[in-house]
Structure 1
Amino acid sequence: MPRPGTPLTGVRPFPLTALRHPTVATLVDDHRALLADLLDGLGSPLHVVLPEVFEENITGLRRAFAETGADVDILFAKKANKAGCFVSSAAALGAGIDAASSAEVVKALAGGVPGHRIGISGPEKDDTLHALAVQHDCLVALDSIGELRRLAATARLAHRKVRVLVRSRTEGQPGSRFGMAAAERDAAVSLCVELADHVNLRGFSFHLNGYSPGERAIAANEMIEHCLDARRRGALSAGLVDIGGGLPMRYVEPRLWDEFLRQNEPAHYHGTKAARGFSFYPYGGHPPAEAARMIMSHPVDGDVSLSAKAARNDIRFLVEPGRSLLDQAGFTVCRVQQVEDRRDTDGYAIVTVAGNSLSLSEPWFNTDYLPDPLLISARPAADELFPACVAGSTCLENDMVTWRKIGFPRPVRPGDHLVYFNTAGYHMDFLESRFHDTALPVKAVLRLGDGAESPRWRLDGI
């Protein structure tokens, strides 16, 4: 409870305890001295990345799809994290990479992923990216007739044939800026058949906002029908449906998340942030493997499951998870730089960490990263609720790492550490910036599974 005499401004902070993978729990419980040394030597904030958890996620997602009878290849959406260790892990397990830039393709190839396991997405890709795709036999998702013509010309000059998907707008989201409407899609199929010496139409893909397994299954079923139509029109290789990403993941227990949504109010936040409105990522969502089973078992055409219909029509799937493959595969440690105790006036403190909010971002529409950080302190424990939000160390008013008031179990002091869990998926480097001429945070790669007494670590990329 607040100390005697503290004004009762705001409300008691609501806990959003982050889930922890056993490997993460071992590191923060048993190897705090190592984490402190890494933070001292490499700087704050420090991103810790865990390729062995990433590899476990690939294996688990494959198993979930296989249980439904679906034939699915996994392409890791590289945009979710720039760390090279995840590319190397994908290559070692025979997974592919979803890339949307020339730099991402080059890094995928350098990390050991062969070109035929690289999918290239993104709107209206430039000629350099097209040339790389043609040269290395990548699979290209096309967004327009114009792009199809340009890519075919590149393949013709190289005396090669390029594999393509036609990205189609779904009936559920016809206003998307990605993909072709029905008339353009039909024209693209005809053009692919006409350009068969240089273009091999392998199937269809789509872009879908949101995390509904049912909506994704319905959209995938539309793509199956497009494949069957394309085969009838002469595109005999059309047997691949790319369902994209959009697999949800779970940061906190669903019961806790639902209760948070019921109790959420502006008084839980610093300043006027909540008054401008929030759109939250579904932190209490389905685990990725469960979502995969829900998509493939969803009934289409009456009571037939999506996976059964695909098998009956010789259709294979691609899936492009990013955030969900990185579930629990990394966390971020920040050093507390200063504490401004406003409990006597405002009812809470402002904790400033070494770093800024762009290095721990939630790229989800006007919100911040919600799960509670863990306070690590060398000082004796104190049974005293310490409400505080967390600020970055720049001169910007809106540089808040956590706008929400956290109920720390003891007073926070300079030199303490805050651990933000499960930050590998988009949170680490999606918005990173060298504002104020500061260095970008480094990523330390840690592994526990080699039998060593202490975790082995290295800098990513070395």
Structure 2
Amino acid sequence: MPTLPAHPDPDTDRILDSGMLHELSYAFGGPFHFLLPHRFDANLAAFRTALHDAGVEGRVYYAKKANKAAVWTERCAAHQAGVDVASAPELREALGHGVRGENIVVTGPAKSDELLRLAVLQGALVAVDALDELDLLITLALTGTIRPARLLLRRLPSAQPHSRFGMNDAELETALDRCVRAGDAVRMEGFSFHLSGYAIQPRADLAGELVDLCLKARVLGLQADRISIGGGFAVDYSAADHWHTFLAEQKPEHYHAKKAFRTGDFYPYHSPVAGADALRAILATVPQGGRDTLAARLTDTGTLLMTEPGRALLAGAGSTVFRIQGVKERAGYRIVTVDGTSLSLSEQWFNSEYLPDPQLVTPSGRDHGAHTGEVHPACVGGASCLESDMVTWRKVPFPARPRGGDLLVYPNTAGYQMDSNESPFHDLPLPSKVVIDRLGVDHLGERPRWRLDRRPAR
């Protein structure tokens, strides 16, 4: 049966081998997630290094929607990084965990009055998505605030004309005119875009267009000294040979109930250019119609580059743990039922499957029994009474027979997986988040140290 092992991860393996996961499962009485803040710090440093090495002035904003845990905004505050928010509660939470208002960018469509008012009061930067939103922002800035409204104008990508995000050429012309007319009430700092997919060239092309728009806006007397290229930096979960072999071999009979997935709906679990390396590639690309790289273009025009990675800052920074509650025999495989639901592994939201193999952790250790050479196929169902509540439809070839009380650990789930879709269905509690603060050896010994995340599950 096809398998898709995740990249080796010594930090996660050490936690799996520590014996603490069974204790935590017993303590919480349900599934939980563990988080590795030092990996977030390393990913943030890699993005900043990519900007520095290219000679580009830039800022990194963590896309908060990728994971609700407080620890990530705490790390942003500690490292003077920015946060990308799209709601008033997200903005308040970022402020409450120490992120300064000027280090917050507000994105998303059709922002509420409350969100825009709070953004203006706190000096946050607003990515304006439509003309009516711009009018509301200007009105708020003219009525009683003591500082100008900071804003970017979001461009509709010409390569994705059916996107619901951004303004077309005519709308941008009108928006620029209104910014000029608003005078000191607004500070138009540049342009942004939202682009689906992970391709390098289209991002560099659109970024080059935004630089040209900045130059045009400066002629009108506007500041226009920065652009935002958003997120869309892929994460590499598995090796190329494993990924391509999996795609070639997988078929409906490898899934419970012969569930069929379209290959194109799977996340690209292998990416040859991922994370900060994708940013390096974008900066080294020559935008369409140009002669210089994007990095050179940014530097020559004095334009600051903003990025808003989410998943890429959380790469390797957390995993999800379920306890097996029961095992049912079927012809040729087993149906394992765990103590949570597929809502805590959000790929099902996209009518897809989270494909990196979960690891089986028995009370006697990780993958106990692997030396036998046998495989024990099993799909993984959730604890709800819905037929479609499958955590993993695929019949995973485990190296040991899954039994009640064993744990399944899904690797690398921090980015957009572990809490985007969670709900207390059946009145089941939301999984707790455990922050692993210390992995190194110290006077307390080699055992990892943990604490609960400061944001309560809700």
Which residue of the other structure, out of 426, 434, 438, is the alignment partner of 2:424? 434
Cα deviations across residues 355-414 of structure 1 (Å, max 9, x unaligned)? 000012216621021100001113662442111111101000110001111010121111
Q: What residue identity is the alignment partner of 1:269?
A: Y
SS at match of 2:60: strand
* 1:322-378 deviation digits (Å, cap 9, x = unpaired): 011000100011101111111xx3x21111111000012216621021100001113
State whether structure 2 residue 345 is matched by structure 1 residue 352: no
1:207 aligned onto 2:200: no
| Equivalent residue, structure 2, for 1:247 | 233
Task: Please show how residues 323-402 of structure 1 align to structure 2 within 5 Å.
Answer: 323-342=311-330, 345=331, 347-362=332-347, 365-378=350-363, 381=369, 382-402=372-392
- Letter of the structure 1 residue corresponding to residue 86 of structure 2: A
Q: Secondary structure at the match of 1:209?
A: coil
Q: 1:58 aligns with which of 44, 54, 60?
A: 44
Partner of 2:178: 191
Find the aligned partners of 1:94 and 1:400 in 2 and give their Cα distance.
40
Q: Give 3-state SS (helix, strand or coil) of 2:320's partner.
A: strand
Residue 319 (1) aligns with residue 304 (2): no
Amino acid at match of 1:455: P
1:75 equivalent to 2:65? Answer: no
What is residue 419 of structure 1 aligned with on the other side?
409
Q: Deviations over 1:19-47 (max 9, x none)?
A: 24332222123x1x212111110132110
CA distance in 1, matches of 2:195, 2:7: 27
The question of whether the paired residues in 1 share the 8 Å contact of 2:22 and 2:363 is answered with: no
Match of 1:259 among 223, 245, 256: 245
What residue number does 2:105 align with? 119
Aligned CA distance change for structure 1 residues 421 and 95 (closer, same or farther; 3 Å): same
Identity score, percent: 44
Paired residue for 1:8? none
Contact 1:279/1:364, CA 8 A, preserved across alignment? no
Q: Distance in 2 between the 1:239 and 1:84 partners?
A: 31
User: Partner of 2:346: helix, strand, or coil?
Assistant: coil
Greater mean alpha carbon deviation, residues 445-454 or residues 296-305: 445-454
- The range that moved more, 14-23 or 358-367, is 358-367
The partner residue of 1:164 within 151, 175, 186 is 151
- Structure 1 residues 363, 140: closer, same or farther in 2, change over 3 A? farther
Q: SS at the partner of 1:226?
A: helix
In the other structure, the counterpart of 1:460 is 453
SS at match of 2:16: helix
Tell me how far apart the structure 1 counterparts of residues 38 and 362 of structure 2 sit (CA, whole Å): 28
List aligned pairs for 1:401-416, cutoff 5 A: 401-416=391-406
Contact 2:247 2:263 in 1 (8 A): no
Work out the CA distance in 1 between the residues paired with 2:225 and 2:257: 53
Q: Tell me, which stretches of 5 or more residues in structure 2 are unaligned?
A: none
Q: Secondary structure at the match of 1:440?
A: coil
* Cα RMSD, aligned residues only: 1.5
The secondary structure found in structure 2 opposite 1:204 is strand
Amino acid of the structure 1 residue aligned with 2:164: R
**How far apart, in 1, do the equivalents of 2:439 and 2:328 lie?**
41
How many angstroms apart in 1 are the aligned matches of 2:58 and 2:327? 50
Where structure 1 has 5 or more consecutive residues not aligned to the other structure, the ranges are: 1-12
- Alpha-carbon contact 2:125-2:150 (below 8 Å) kept: yes
Q: CA deviation at 1:232?
A: 1.6
Q: Which moved more, 1:239-248 or 1:356-365?
A: 356-365
Mapped contact 1:83–1:443 kept (Cα < 8 A) = yes
> How does 1:145-184 map onto structure 2 within 5 Å?
145-157=131-143, 158-184=145-171
Q: Which amino acid aligns with 1:313?
A: T
Correspondence list, 1:41-56, <5 A: 41-56=27-42
Q: CA deviation at 1:190?
A: 0.9
Show the counterpart of 1:7. none
* Preserved contact between residue 433 and residue 440 of structure 1 (Cα < 8 Å): yes
User: CA deviation digits over 1:193-227, x for unaligned, max 9?
Assistant: 11022111100001101011211111111111111
Tell me whether 1:225 sits opposite 2:212 in the alignment: yes
- Give SS of 1:370's match: coil
Shift of the 112–275 alpha-carbon distance from structure 1 to 2, 3 Å rule, reads closer
Amino acid at match of 1:38: L
Out of 289, 292, 307, the position equivalent to 1:304 is 292
CA distance in 2, matches of 1:215, 1:65: 19
Q: Would the aligned equivalents of 1:363 and 1:430 in 2 still touch at CA under 8 Å?
A: no
Change (3 A) 1:303 1:21: farther
Inter-partner Cα distance in structure 2 for 1:229 and 1:86: 37
For residue 276 of structure 1, report the CA deviation from its aligned partner. 6.9
Greater shift, 162-171 or 295-304, is seen at 295-304
After TM superposition, the score normalised by the length of structure 1 is 0.93
The count of residues paired between Structure 1 and Structure 2 equals 444
Which of the numbers 97, 100, 118 marks the counterpart of 2:86? 100
Deviation per CA, 1:440-460, whole angstroms, max 9, x where unpaired?
111011122563422221111
Q: Which residue of 2 aligns with 1:138?
A: 124
1:277 positional shift: 6.9
SS at match of 1:271: helix
Q: Equivalent of 2:15, from 27, 36, 61?
A: 27
SS state of the match for residue 123, structure 1? coil
Contact 1:20 1:328 in 2 (8 A): no
